[in-house]
Structure 1
């Protein structure tokens, strides 16, 4: 028996087919859970509207609450229909679960679905995660270990109504080809194949969960938190599906808006590849993955005409006048000359084409090249501000002052700069 809390709030992906009908009744009978039904009308078949109306009838007849989402197929932009439909429904299920305060998101996948997934993914060359499938920690599948026959028996014994989906017999979809063409051949070749494959799937799922458990324990060795940033050090795990699963789960702990496939694109992508959750970004750098709060590009230009005006900046900048005899000239202290701290200043994000003469150099350098040489991750590079005086950059904030802002040998005073970006 599943370890479900009786009487819990839950949502159930509801198609109106026998699987979701049986699950709605099973949850109510066994756990006193009356799930909120969620039906997606994809608008892809002539029967779609009738399916939605039937689901609403069922909900009213059996006293369930229901909500129907009318999806727009024109929004899929050439994407595979089934992939698009999957993204739509799971994003909506998660959104509604959060809005309703649901503890569970239920779907009615069963053992026949798992066997089909195993065969399809095995032939595509998937790894351990892909071949076992259905591993989302956000989704609970109470029927996962039941065969279709047992589900049909349950429905018939209780005289439950359900709606047949004619598209299940269509050979347009790969899954239906496995179900309607390959399965009968396997029945003839090896009548016990379904039981054997069930054991194989369950064994591999145990191996998968064990490996993920070990990876979770090792996480502390290659994950570092600094302020609001999480840095994940790259390693051999990057090339594995297990690694993708773990990176996805780590991202989900911070922000539930990340998509599993998009996390995979970042994992396998080039340096700078990025995906967005609800409030965070996952960015691939040279040696780390960064999980950082999402940001919008600051297009403002700040005019600084006094020390008090520094307070308008989106970060903390403090300038303290000090005797040059007390200055500690090293990599940990930034000093500007008195002449450099003669307002007005202009402060803004750096722009393509910006140049400056870095402290200690004879010639000028493009800001883009300077930041690339520092090997800054994308989000830090994009959020680098510069200070201009008389339309000349005198300071790349947080990194280097310009030669023109340096403290000279004859200077008696200088300004110690303290920068804090939250």
Structure 2
């Protein structure tokens, strides 16, 4: 028996096939949950519109609420049809669940689906997560331990209607080849293969969940938070599929817009590899992964003619005049000379080709090389501002003043800089 809260709000991915029809009735009969039906019309088959109309008829006949999404297949840009369809439906299911305040997102996957997934992924060389299928906390699959035969028996006993999907017979799709070509051969070679494979899948799923549980406990050792940034320290887990799953789940806690495959690309990518969720970025650096609020490049150029003009800047900048005798000249304090703090200033993001003469150096240096030497992560590097006076960079904000802005031996006063 599933641990579901009776009478809960829920959405159900509804194709109109026997699996989703049975699940809609099972939830109502067993848990008094009348799910909101979500049907996606992918527009890929001649029968697609008729399928959508049938689903609407079923909802009206059995008093379910329903919504149909008409997906646009022209938007898939050469992507595999099934991968595109999967992304479309799960993104929409989650969106509607949030909008409706649903506690559950149900899908009608059953044991036969899990066996097929296992075989396909095993032959592709998947790891533990891929071979068993990702266990998403967002999706609940009440039929996962039932064979197709039991589902058909349930439907026939209750004389439920359903719609047959003609594409299930098509050998155009890999899953159908496993179902319609390989399964009959396995039936002949080893009649008990389905039961044996069911045990294998369930054993591996338990191992997967146990390992993920341990990894979740260890997460506090390699995850730190600084302000709005989350930093995940790299380790041996980076090369594992379990690690990808955990990084994905961590990203999902902050921003539900991250895609599992894209997180994998960042995990295996070069330094600077990045993917974007709805409101956050996941970035790979040398020793850490960074999960940070998304940002757009600031193209504005700020003209500063007074201290009051600092208010227009997208960050907090404060200059405090102090006696040079009270100055603490070390790596933790940044001072500008009185001559440098003579407006006007220009403040903007650094640009390719920018150069300056860092404090203590004889020659000039490209800003790009200077920032690379600091080993800044991509997002901090891209959001570094410079201050110009008379078209010359006198300060790389937050990192180094230029030699021309240094406090001289004969100066009586200086400005202590604070940047937030």
Using the size of structure 1 for normalisation, the TM-score is 0.99
More off after superposition, 396-405 vs 307-316:
307-316
2: CA distance between counterparts of 1:174 and 1:311?
60
1: CA distance between counterparts of 2:264 and 2:402?
41
1: CA distance between counterparts of 2:278 and 2:98?
13
1: CA distance between counterparts of 2:30 and 2:54?
25
Structure 2 residue ranges without an equivalent (≥5): none
Post-superposition Cα deviations, 1:312-354, rounded to whole Å, max 9, x if no partner, equal: 1111111011110110000000000000000000001101111
1: CA distance between counterparts of 2:6 and 2:262?
35
2: CA distance between counterparts of 1:326 and 1:400?
20
- Once superposed, what is the RMSD of the aligned Cα atoms? 0.5
Structure 2 counterpart of 1:60: 60
Structure 1 counterpart of 2:400: 400
Q: 1:179 offset after TM fit, Å?
A: 0.3
Post-superposition Cα deviations, 1:226-277, rounded to whole Å, max 9, x if no partner, equal: 0100000000000000000000011111111111111111111111111111
Q: 1:290 offset after TM fit, Å?
A: 0.2
1: CA distance between counterparts of 2:170 and 2:257?
33
Q: SS of the residue aligned with 1:69?
A: strand
1: CA distance between counterparts of 2:150 and 2:185?
22
Give matches, 1:95-110, under 5 Å: 95-110=95-110
Q: 1:219 offset after TM fit, Å?
A: 0.3
2: CA distance between counterparts of 1:17 and 1:382?
50
1: CA distance between counterparts of 2:104 and 2:326?
63
Q: SS of the residue aligned with 1:177?
A: helix
1: CA distance between counterparts of 2:276 and 2:150?
42
2: CA distance between counterparts of 1:8 and 1:368?
55
Q: 1:134 offset after TM fit, Å?
A: 3.8
1: CA distance between counterparts of 2:259 and 2:137?
13
Report whether the alignment pairs 1:23 with 2:23: yes
Paired positions, count: 420
Q: SS of the residue aligned with 1:282?
A: strand
Report whether the alignment pairs 1:263 with 2:270: no
2: CA distance between counterparts of 1:188 and 1:102?
45
Structure 2 counterpart of 1:170: 170
1: CA distance between counterparts of 2:107 and 2:265?
26
Structure 1 counterpart of 2:185: 185
2: CA distance between counterparts of 1:363 and 1:18?
75
Q: SS of the residue aligned with 1:376?
A: coil
Q: SS of the residue aligned with 1:120?
A: helix
Q: 1:53 offset after TM fit, Å?
A: 0.3
Q: 1:16 offset after TM fit, Å?
A: 0.2
2: CA distance between counterparts of 1:303 and 1:16?
62
In the TM superposition, structure 1's runs of 4+ consecutive aligned residues that sit over 2 Å from their partners are none
Q: 1:278 offset after TM fit, Å?
A: 1.1
Q: SS of the residue aligned with 1:172?
A: coil
2: CA distance between counterparts of 1:166 and 1:57?
19
Q: 1:311 offset after TM fit, Å?
A: 1.3
2: CA distance between counterparts of 1:33 and 1:314?
49
Q: 1:166 offset after TM fit, Å?
A: 0.5
Give matches, 1:243-258, under 5 Å: 243-258=243-258
Give matches, 1:71-90, under 5 Å: 71-90=71-90
Post-superposition Cα deviations, 1:95-129, rounded to whole Å, max 9, x if no partner, equal: 11111111100000000000000000000000000
2: CA distance between counterparts of 1:327 and 1:134?
58
Q: 1:139 offset after TM fit, Å?
A: 0.5
2: CA distance between counterparts of 1:320 and 1:133?
58
2: CA distance between counterparts of 1:262 and 1:96?
23
Q: 1:137 offset after TM fit, Å?
A: 1.3
Post-superposition Cα deviations, 1:124-148, rounded to whole Å, max 9, x if no partner, equal: 0000000000411110000000000
Q: SS of the residue aligned with 1:262?
A: helix
Give matches, 1:327-406, under 5 Å: 327-406=327-406
Q: 1:27 offset after TM fit, Å?
A: 0.4
2: CA distance between counterparts of 1:42 and 1:309?
54
Using the size of structure 2 for normalisation, the TM-score is 1.00
1: CA distance between counterparts of 2:259 and 2:97?
16
Post-superposition Cα deviations, 1:382-413, rounded to whole Å, max 9, x if no partner, equal: 10000000000000000000000000011111
Post-superposition Cα deviations, 1:202-234, rounded to whole Å, max 9, x if no partner, equal: 000000000000000000100000010000000
